[in-house]
Amino acid sequence: MEDILSDISIKRALNTRVIGRRILYLPVVPSTMLAAKEEAIAGAIEGTVVIAGRQTMGKGRLYRTWLSPPGSLALSILLYPGLDLTASLTVMAAVAAARSIKTITGLEARFKWPNDVLVNGKKVAGILAESGARGDISYAVIGIGVNVNNPIAALGDFALPATNLSREGGKSVNRLALLVNLLTEMDGLYVSGDTKAIYHEWRGKLHTLGKRVSVVSGDSARQGVAESVDENGNLTLRLDDGGLVKFAAGDVTLRPDPSV
Ligand code: BT5
């Protein structure tokens, strides 16, 4: 399979039911999240996928930046899920990413709550779920960025060290094959709607559980042991005084506990 991304090469290699019914490949774009939202506002069909050769203003959570230079993968999927599936989209995308990484590179991916995909303890991919509405139609956009063959040194230093698939696997990775596999896995999970099974697979790869962490929300931080996560990705933290606090995935950042 050639490693050339284009509307045609992707469409030709794809055999999915919902995700990828429409493919928009853009060589350079500020952010595929914004492009996918514009598609939603214009009434695009469910399963529209926007893929970028590179992004100039890639977005992370909480107004952070995601760098996606050439050689990486950056895509956003437009969905019109019911309320039942909306909360599971980040978990679903993480599972799809881990499966495709395993299939295409043989590497085992693990997750750092709530949305980081790690290989050998370093961040290889990030997931961002956003939602909006056009009139009374609610939409969700799920963004996935993967470091594939892009040089890591060029990214700079992050709190959580970054890596890419070619470095971890020792050889360059065919991005088209990875993309097609990722969309196919996501399609299977989304169409199945089996949130229980998806959650169990995700939880099994969650390296955060049982660890001492600091949960940062705005200006405040709480320390404790990450005790459990529920099906919607909410984390329960066991505080040192024995109390329990629950955190929603959307609005917090996880750091190692500075006191250990
Ligand atoms: C994420 O946010 O990890 C979600 C990233 C989602 C990116 C995709 S690409 C396609 C779509 N279009 C977009 O514009 N976004 C989505 P968060 O957990 O907030 O992590 C962001 C943090 O990761 C940054 O503050 C950096 O520390 C670090 N970072 C930035 N670029 C990185 C990279 N390429 N690899 C590893 N870490 C990175």
pTM, full prediction: 0.96
SS3 state of residue 195:
helix
Residues 207-231 pLDDT 10s: 889 999 999 988 889 999 999 998 8
Q: How confident is the model at residue 2 (pLDDT cuts 50, 70, 90)?
A: low
The upper half-sphere exposure of residue 130, i.e. CA atoms within 13 Å in the direction of its Cβ, equals 22
Query: Domain locations in the chain?
Result: 7-204, 212-256
pLDDT of residue 34: 98
pLDDT at 5 over 80: yes
Is 57 a residue whose pLDDT tops 70?
yes
SS (H, E, C) 3-56: CCCCHHHHHHHCCCCCCCCEEEEEEEECCHHHHHHHHHHCCCCCCEEEEEEEEC
**How far, in Å, from the CA of 111 to the mean position of ligand 1?**
14
Which band of pLDDT confidence, cut at 50, 70 and 90, is reported for residue 232?
confident
Out of 34, 49, 62, 66, mutate this one to test ligand 1's pocket (max ligand atoms within 8 Å of CB): namely 66
- Banded model confidence at residue 260, pLDDT cuts 50, 70, 90: low
Calculate the average pLDDT of the chain: 93
Per-residue tokens: 64: 């952070």
Report the alpha-carbon distance of residue 40 to residue 250 in Å, rounded: 22
Ligand 1 pocket, 76 CB below 6 A? yes
Quick check: helix, strand or coil at residue 227?
A: strand
Closest atom, ligand 1, to C-alpha of 114: 18
Residue 221 CA from chain centroid, whole number:
24
| pLDDT tens readout for residues 151-171 | 998 888 898 999 999 999 999
CATH of segment(s) 7-204: 3.30.930.10
pLDDT higher than threshold 90 for residue 82: no
Is the pLDDT score of 30 beyond 90? yes
The CATH class of the 212-256 domain is mainly beta
Task: Please determine, for residue 67, whether its predicted confidence score (pLDDT) is greater than 90.
Answer: yes
pLDDT band at residue 76 under the 50/70/90 scheme: very high
Nearest to 255, CA basis, from 205, 203, 220, 204: 220
| pLDDT for residue 85 is more than 90 | no
Question: DSSP string covering 69-96, please?
Answer: -TTSEEEEEEE---HHHHTTHHHHHHHH
Cα separation, 2 vs 19, in Å, equals 21
- Place 66 in a pLDDT band, splitting at 50, 70 and 90: very high
What residue owns the CA closest to ligand 1's atom 26? Answer: 158
